[in-house]
Amino acid sequence: MSNHPIPIDDIRAQSRKLVRALGFMGGSFAGTDLPPSSVHALIDIEAEPGITAATLSETLALDKSSVSRLLHKLEHSGDVHAWSDADDARIKRLGLTQQGSARLSAIHDFARCQVAAALDRLQPQQHRTVLDGLALYANALMPEADQRATPIEIVTGYHPGLIAGITGMHIAYYADTAGFGRSFEAVVASGLADFCSRLDHAENEVWTVMRGGRILGSLAIDGQDLAPGVAHLRWFILDASLRGLGFGRRLMAQALAFVDASPFERTDLWTFEGLHAARHLYEAHGFVLAEQYAGDQWGRDVQEQRFTRWAGASGSSERA
């Protein structure tokens, strides 16, 4: 082991020089009047046309409200345009306008000239040293990049944190989209706790979409809380960053394969009016609207809906 002290303060000093030289402290950044976060947003939107705001938030390591504000400004300035996802109108896809592409092209030209001018002051054999050092240091500063690269998988069965994770996803989504609060959270949490105590029964199963230990989606089949021979499809939810990528269809396919391999006569699910993308997915897998009625069990009045899929009704999942 080396006895040389770690040059922490020297590295910090060089980092400050780098930040100031690149214009992060104010004034013109990358030859534009845009703040650094907006410049980085344009670069990432160009790199991944159709990226969602949620994915952009994760990539930029900014909270969703900050990304929402900067996107609003970029749309207002005419640099970015947004459109609704073909499968889920709640999801907005992002792309550069012609003006935005032209602005970003100028940013790239400015930055390349800036880098080239700096490298001209070095010996050619030092160029690779600069690149390797920057890459090594940047990767060490951003271990979360490894987490973003962690594969996404669908896990069957109970695992620690399942009740809290699924409940948290539901309350976060439905509090925002439907105004549900304490009553809804209590029903979800208590229902999940009861269900998990019965997971060793052959008629019950749960699937969760996982990445790096975090739950990003869920769906369960409860074969015991309704009438004999009736499966209950419950707790279907998917993180916004995964919508439109096929994980909802994959969850549904696994759950219905489980149902079809069991002696259930039909499968019921309850939802409420207005969730159009979810309804499209249900109907594509053979569910039909069986009844609709006013209800207030979630803390406010909604039009509750029951969808039913009879045994052998495969629907049109290949088109989903």
pLDDT at position 4 is: 59
pLDDT at position 319 is: 30
Tell me how far apart the alpha carbons of residues 248 and 237 are, in angstroms, rounded to a whole number: 8
Tell me how far apart the alpha carbons of residues 62 and 64 are, in angstroms, rounded to a whole number: 6
Q: Which of 195, 202, 275, 200 is nearest to 235 (CA)?
A: 195
pLDDT at position 11 is: 85
Bridging pattern class, strands 266-272 and 230-238: parallel
CA 314 to chain CA mean position, Å: 28
pLDDT at position 2 is: 45
Question: What is the chain's mean pLDDT, rounded?
Answer: 85
pLDDT at position 208 is: 97
Question: What are the tokens at 236?
Answer: 């279907």
pLDDT at position 318 is: 35
Is 230 in contact with 311 (CB distance < 8 Å)?
no
CA 48 to chain CA mean position, Å: 15
pLDDT at position 313 is: 67
Q: Which of 241, 209, 204 is nearest to 226 (CA)?
A: 204
Bridging pattern class, strands 302-310 and 266-272: antiparallel
Stretches in the chain below the pLDDT threshold 70? 1-4, 26-28, 142-150, 274, 295-302, 313-320
Write the DSSP symbol of residue 6: P
Question: What are the tokens at 315?
Answer: 């629907």
Tell me how far apart the alpha carbons of residues 35 and 20 are, in angstroms, rounded to a whole number: 14
pLDDT at position 316 is: 43
The CA distances from residue 293 to 270, 272, 296, 297, 301, in Å, are 11, 9, 10, 12, 10
